[in-house]
Amino acid sequence: MNTGLMALKFFALILSELTLLFLGISTIVGLILLHITDDKLRRWLSRGGLYGNFLGAALGAITPFCSCSTIPMTVGLLRAGVPFGATMSFVLASPLLNPIILTMFWVLLGWKACLVYGLVTFIMSIISGSLLQKLGLATDIKDVRVSGLKDRIIPATFGQKLRLAFVGAWDDFRSILLFLIIGVAAGAVIYGWLPGDFVAKIAGPNNPLAIPLAAIIGIPLYVRAETVIPIAMALTQKGMSMGAVLALIIGGAGMSIPEISMLASIFKVRLVCIFIGVVFVTAVAAGFIFNIL
């Protein structure tokens, strides 16, 4: 089979799989969220201690937001009186964790990568939110003038809820479709034409700097995890270590230049810099933990 046909087959197969995964899982998540009222959400997240951080990270893990879409929700949580620590746990977990990303990880990169990625990012979200709260960094929030969470109108029948959940899933899918196509296309090009020896030399398991470099490269990029996972799959098949792949995904999906700008509008410079550091440490930790295991 020639390289062009191999790349085309890769593109069609992966894009089809990811489309079905995204729509199916997004609809299920949408149905679940329709049974959680905004008032209940506020009360849950307002609980103190690590439990509040756990719930903040859990909310981030079930909401399919990219890094920039997370910011309006963050402002709403703060204005609704949700504790700073729980909100910061949400900010870190939201672009990195959701059932769609975890399922894509499992299907394309294997259960071990999925497990390490999920556990490290979730635990780091809880710890980081709690630590930022204890360090008194809540004072680094600027005076934002926006409305808080608005109560949703939830349909009465299951059929109406299912339709609303699918419409929401379809809208989300349309918003990321271009990025998904770009990611799968880039993965197909890498799969078909990029020399494996080159990738293995630069980012293979024998290069100790591959993981921190991958995290540094990923942070300035504006990519969703759903976009970069197909690229990561192709890179691993060309010899890139899975640790470096995890660092690249976390760095790219957890922080970006647009998100840094948006964070700077609601947080002071010190907190923005610390948050970038948290994303970097999370990316590097996940990479090294996977390679060690």
Q: List Cβ neighbours of 39 (8 Å cut-off, separation of 6 or more).
A: 151
Q: List Cβ neighbours of 40 (8 Å cut-off, separation of 6 or more).
A: none
Report phi then psi at 72, rounded to 5: -60, -40
pLDDT at residue number 36? 67
Give the model confidence (pLDDT) of 134-161 as tens digits.
998 888 887 654 444 455 566 778 888 8
pLDDT at residue number 231? 74
Instruction: Tell me whether residue 293 is exposed, middle or buried, using C-beta atoms within 10 angstroms of its C-beta: 0 to 12, 13 to 18, 19 or more.
Output: exposed
List the chain domain ranges: 3-141+155-292
pLDDT mean across residues, the chain:
77
Give the model confidence (pLDDT) of 72-106 as tens digits.
667 667 766 788 888 899 888 887 887 777 887 78
pTM here? 0.69
pLDDT at residue number 149? 46
Lowest-pLDDT choice from 57-66, 75-84, 106-115, 184-193: 184-193
